[in-house]
Chain A
Amino acid sequence: MTPGNRIIQFSISKPRLITATMVLATVILGALMVNVHVDTDPENMLSRDEAVRIFHNQIKKEFTLYDMVVLGVVNEKNPNGVFNVETLARVAELTDFAETLSWPDPEDPDKIIGVVRRDIIAPGNVDDIRQAGPGQVRFEWLMPEPPATQEEALEIRDQAMANPMLKGTLVSEDGRALGLYLPITHKDLAHRIQKQLKEKIAGFSGEEEYHITGLPVAEDTFGVEMFVQMAVSAPLSMLAIFLLMLFFFRKLSLIISPMIIAMVSVICTMGLLIGTGNTVHIMSSMIPIFLMPVAVVDSIHILSEFHDQYQKTGDRRLTLEHVMAQLFRPMLYTSLTSAAGFASLALTPIPPVRVFGIFVAFGILLAWLLTITFIPAFIMMLQKESLASLGGRVKGGSSFLSRHLRWLGRVTISQAKPIIALSLAALVVAGYGISRIQINDNPVNWFAPNHPIRVADRVLNSHFGGTYEAFLVLEAVDEQETAVDAAQLLKQSISGLKPSTARQQEINAEAIGDVDRQAPLSATPDELFAALEEKWEKQLDMSSSDQGYDLWSNMLDVLETVRGRKQIFKQPALLSYMEGLQEHLLTTGIAGKSNSVVDIVKKVHQELYEGREEQFRVPDTAAGVAQSLISYQNSHKPDDLFHFVTPDYRKANIWVQLKSGDNKDMEEVVQAVEEYFIQQPPPIPVSHNWAGLTYLNVVWQDKMVSGMLKAFMGSFAVVFLMMTMLFRSPLWGIIAMVPLTLTIALIYGLVGLTGKDYDMPIAVLSALTLGLAVDFAIHFLQRSRMAYDKTGSWREAAKIMFEEPARAISRNVIVIAVGFTPLLAAPLLTYKTVGFFLAAIMAISGLATMIIIPALITLLEPRMFPRRTL
């Protein structure tokens, strides 16, 4: 007795035990689902210890940076744009409201989570440095309170426009839009904050439009909608599949079984996933959608066969034994190959994809086990009478489907060569398409084009420098310097002071003597500097004459200049270099703006000189920079400086605003920076690295693409080996791979040709294609071999093949392809994509199996069936 037979005998004799076991397992695993922990953070696409992620978080901490919710207020109707009394009053009200959006952390009530008040960028919460009467500067909130008159409103506009830190960030250059940037402590609060802002805005009447965007909003909203989507789409798909099966088999009682199998597989898999402590991530939320078609495929094969056979025997037991004898091997292998396809994802370096792959693979094997045990058990439990009319009305001989399949069978034999030629041509076209594939992703584009987030994204990025942020971090490269080196440098600088008096000569000599004496006693340059400072300050204090005081004071200046070299981001040469780099960023057209310590220095310097335009520049000396910066720190928010530079002035952050969150655009900006550094090396050696969500997305995408390719190649090889084993022939193995290869080529060719971006869902689809597309080939080849054994010639065997086996494949194609069309109506593009490609995969692989394989067999008959043709 074959293993298949043994299982079927057990199922047939103990149907209730099987059912009870299944129900129990489902209840237990299903109960685990209450512990669900949702994780919608794409950042988790990278493992926690991934270098770039650690760096990103370190940078966020070091520069006190937060993820931002961007709230745009646009007024296209007023001639003065947003700068009118009414709009600004609403902006002030919104800002006040946003300030209240923080709460005690439920896990740690001492901590406050939500909007970080002090770092809100809003007219009422940013400091402006401005002229306050002749020769006076003033640090003042840009909008301490909403203006009372139109003139005051325009004054606010002019002030903001004159501040490079604000123009293009807080206010659009056309004056029509204002952006409120709300930093948030946790990304997963973005949706909640957005909701509350929307409720507040709903209470406003006026001519303004409001838009909310920013990557955290997109990502968090996606997470929320994703779950809604799952709750809507998955049942809808189930319903569609159910209706189609009803149409094909006309037996309600019978077709309930595949639905049960799909449900049970999904519940058990998700239960196990949650029960084992995994979070439900964007990827794993798609498990039900991927699992359902695979889970019902085998059942449809059984039912299809049972349905067609039952009328011949009229006996359940005999029919089932016959069906399982026919289908056990192909079902085992199709399940194993599908599982292998998904399991291969475990090789990718992306944790959520790994989890996804492993659990789908588990679900597929579970569905297989259920199919071979539960379906027979289920059929045995049905009332005998309810099967009486089965298949009776659908005359296999006359249905629309049957007639066309027979015609198709004849064509594949008579037109075998043209079919192969055509397939090869299709492959060439697909190859061209694949060569044009554009790898790109953008979480905002996961929403349909008319989704409010997409609209906000378009509108705000047309007004502002960009709502996507990336951080370019420049850092001093450590150079080993000894106290002796430092002493040498000091002496050089002192010698550089041209002595004009005898007293000066004396003091210079004394200072050089001090350096020579101290250098051997000091372990590090810092020790040397500290010792000299103490000494010379004493000299300064003891100087009885003004001349002596001045000279020692100069000596301290020299000391400071030498010592201050370490504070590289006070050095004018490096700041000017950064200025050039920032200008270069703008030439990409993607980075709409960037902000850095250089912009602060230039603005302060300008205002110190009565706001004269030619003084909008980097000061000539490091001390000039330092004094401009300490002036800046006399503001309401002195720590704003440290978003851009660390207090030791060894590390600087250029906040780059991008108009697009597309990974390919981010990559272009990264490339532009690389080129700049190669063409113009910095005057002081600095390293440069990127952080920021937009950049993180690029990193995980790269890993995803290369990881997926590797996983795909691996599983392709594994499936080929399995096919060769199954059919005990490499030639058969190769033929089994043909429909799959063509399907994948055409699917990705289509992606390339239509210009659709190769993004996360598309990448994951390759695993699904691999799993599904080979199924039909296995069934078809296995049955062909059986038919050939019976008939002894392919011409005759083909006639059998284009009856029941072809019908089973066609039914499968139609059920699954059509079953997933509800996904096309989803507001999330990822779901649309999955729906469309599932249908395409089923259609192409089904057709390829039924057209190309028979054509190939026709041409290769002597080699494929060697003994018979002898």
Chain B
Amino acid sequence: MKKYILALGLLLFCGVLAWPPAGAAEIPDVEEIVDRANRVAYYAGEDFRASVRMVISDAQGRTRERQLIMLRRDVNDGGEQQFYLYFEKPADVRKMVFMVHKFLDRDDDRWLYLPALDLVKRIAGSDKRTSFVGSHFVYEDVSGRGIAEDNHELVEVTDSHFILKNTPKDPDNVEFSSYTMWIDRENFMPVKAEYYDKQDRKYRLMEALEVRSIQGHPTVVKSRASDLAGGGETVTEFNDIRYDLGLADSIFTERYLRRPPREVR
């Protein structure tokens, strides 16, 4: 009997420690959460370089690999951005380059350089819900979904997370009916998102598997996108991450598609 009382006491004690949750007094406005999360996830630093390795597994457990060098440069914080993705693997797409100029007020500009065909191709940027080179990530996962495209609702605040429900303003343009997002209260990093289809069935899951602080920026170094309906997932790892390299504007131009800049070597 004594043991139980002790256990109960301990439990109560712990409960008191955890209550009230840290910073519960000041829960920011939902738009502010969204805005901060967006900056933390996609706009850390002035620019960014990483070696990215993707392992795509299908429902049968067969895997494929993609390896690429990613350069990002923010034209203005929270706004226009530039991406330069240089492919190293699979070997038969080596030197392939994918470049994006991201805009908030109009469709992105996207270029694809195919070295084997010696062809620079513009890819229409209107639909960002297409797969990123066959992985379970879509373009929007890589470059960020415009925060103005959804209505946001703070559905729950836990000890550690803000839980937001996001409903698209233009549901015809996307394949989901809503997605629920978990945002770390500490650093405003989105760490999980669950997508629901038009029949309101959960079909897609995105997770930050590992977050590390690099040059003072919380950074997702490992993430996963899972297809809950069909099976299969893609795990992405970021290595050799560097912020604020001082990437030149000129790198993100057509000129560098055929001839990769030093920064990716």
> When the two chains form their complex, are residues A136 and B123 in contact, meaning their CB atoms are under 8 A apart?
yes
> When the two chains form their complex, are residues B114 and A608 in contact, meaning their CB atoms are under 8 A apart?
yes
Closest residue on chain A to residue B230 by CB atoms? A118
> When the two chains form their complex, are residues B123 and A627 in contact, meaning their CB atoms are under 8 A apart?
no
Given contacts A633-B134, A634-B132, A647-B62, contact A623 B265 (CB under 8 A): no
Question: Which residues from B are CB-within-8-Å of A540?
Answer: 265
Q: Is B17 an interface residue (CB 8 A)?
A: no
Q: Is B27 an interface residue (CB 8 A)?
A: no
Question: Which residues from A are CB-within-8-Å of B123?
Answer: 136-139, 634
> When the two chains form their complex, are residues A621 and B130 in contact, meaning their CB atoms are under 8 A apart?
no
A545 CB to nearest B CB, Å: 12
Closest residue on chain B to residue A633 by CB atoms? B134
> When the two chains form their complex, are residues A627 and B92 in contact, meaning their CB atoms are under 8 A apart?
yes
Closest residue on chain A to residue B129 by CB atoms? A636
> When the two chains form their complex, are residues B91 and A533 in contact, meaning their CB atoms are under 8 A apart?
yes
Question: Which residues from B are CB-within-8-Å of A61?
Answer: 60
Question: Which residues from B are CB-within-8-Å of A642?
Answer: 58
Given contacts A145-B172, A647-B58, contact A638 B124 (CB under 8 A): no
Question: Which residues from B are CB-within-8-Å of A619?
Answer: 116-117
Q: Mark A620-640, 1 if CB is under 8 A from B, else 0.
A: 011110111011011111110
> When the two chains form their complex, are residues B127 and A139 in contact, meaning their CB atoms are under 8 A apart?
yes
Query: Of the 9-residue stretches B40-48, B93-101, B242-250, which lies at the interface with chain A?
Result: B93-101
A-B contact count (CB 8 A): 126
Q: When chains A and B are docked, how far (Å) is the Cα of A603 from the Cα of B167? A: 36
Question: Which residues from A are CB-within-8-Å of B93?
Answer: 623, 626-627, 630
Question: Which residues from A are CB-within-8-Å of B199?
Answer: 99-100
Question: Which residues from B are CB-within-8-Å of A187?
Answer: none
Query: Of the 9-residue stretches A190-198, A553-561, A589-597, A818-826, which lies at the interface with chain B?
Result: A553-561
Q: Is B218 an interface residue (CB 8 A)?
A: no
Given contacts A139-B130, A559-B91, A560-B94, contact A627 B124 (CB under 8 A): no
Closest residue on chain B to residue A646 by CB atoms? B62
Question: Which residues from A are CB-within-8-Å of B131?
Answer: 633-638
* Tally of A interface residues using CB under 8 Å: 56
Q: Is A140 an interface residue (CB 8 A)?
A: yes
Question: Which residues from B are CB-within-8-Å of A132?
Answer: 124, 126
Q: When chains A and B are docked, how far (Å) is the Cα of A559 from the Cα of B89? A: 13
Q: Is A458 an interface residue (CB 8 A)?
A: no
Interface residues on B, range: 35 or more
Given contacts A560-B92, A560-B94, A564-B92, contact A626 B58 (CB under 8 A): no
Which one, B59, B117, B121, B197, contacts A137 given CB within 8 A? B121
Question: Which residues from B are CB-within-8-Å of A133?
Answer: 124
Question: Which residues from B are CB-within-8-Å of A789?
Answer: none
A-B contact pairs, 19 of them (CB 8 A): A64-B59, A117-B197, A137-B121, A137-B122, A138-B124, A138-B126, A139-B130, A549-B265, A556-B91, A608-B117, A619-B116, A619-B117, A624-B114, A624-B116, A626-B90, A626-B116, A635-B131, A642-B58, A647-B58
Question: Which residues from B are CB-within-8-Å of A567?
Answer: 92
Closest residue on chain A to residue B172 by CB atoms? A145
> When the two chains form their complex, are residues A553 and B59 in contact, meaning their CB atoms are under 8 A apart?
no
Q: Mark B193-230, 1 if CB is under 8 A from A, else 0.
A: 00001110100000000000000000000000000011
Question: Which residues from B are CB-within-8-Å of A621?
Answer: 116
Residue picked from B91, B173, B232, most chain A C-beta under 10 Å: B91
Q: When chains A and B are docked, how far (Å) is the Cα of A100 from the Cα of B200? A: 11
Question: Which residues from A are CB-within-8-Å of B198?
Answer: 99
> When the two chains form their complex, are residues A638 and B134 in contact, meaning their CB atoms are under 8 A apart?
yes
B249 CB to nearest A CB, Å: 22
Q: When chains A and B are docked, how far (Å) is the Cα of A289 from the Cα of B133? A: 59
Question: Which residues from A are CB-within-8-Å of B119?
Answer: 608-609
Question: Which residues from B are CB-within-8-Å of A832?
Answer: none
Question: Which residues from A are CB-within-8-Å of B62?
Answer: 646-648
